[in-house]
Amino acid sequence: MKMIVHTRSKKQEKHVKLFLEDLDIAFTIVEEDAGVYKKHPPKSITKKESQLLDNLSQSVNFVIKHRKGKVKAKTLNQFLDEL
């Protein structure tokens, strides 16, 4: 069985190490790559992506209103007849 312990400081690491030694539990200390925690800046949204998100939001709001009975939806045949 493996247990991973992430310590926030060397002091915490020392106390965990002493605790495990007192219980006679074998352990290995592994340093993690700093690159794992590297954060990327947020990606800017293009105009096309923004429009797509707006359309999706409007669609979701319509479905929510339809479920609550606040809006009536047309059938596909009614929609095609109007065209």
Residue 72: per-residue pLDDT: 85
| Alpha helices per DSSP H over 1-83 | 10-22, 47-68, 76-82
Number of domains comprising the chain? 2
CB of 47 within 8 A of CB of 53?
Answer: no
Tokens of 60: 């979701």
Same domain for 52 and 26, yes or no, is no
> Is this prediction's pTM over 0.85?
no
- Please write the tens of the pLDDT for every residue from 22-75: 888 888 877 765 555 556 677 888 999 999 999 999 999 998 998 899 988 888
Cβ contacts of 73 within 8 Å, gap of 6 or more: 62, 66
- Examine residue 39 and state whether it is found in any structural domain, yes or no: no
What is the domain extent for residue 81?
45-83
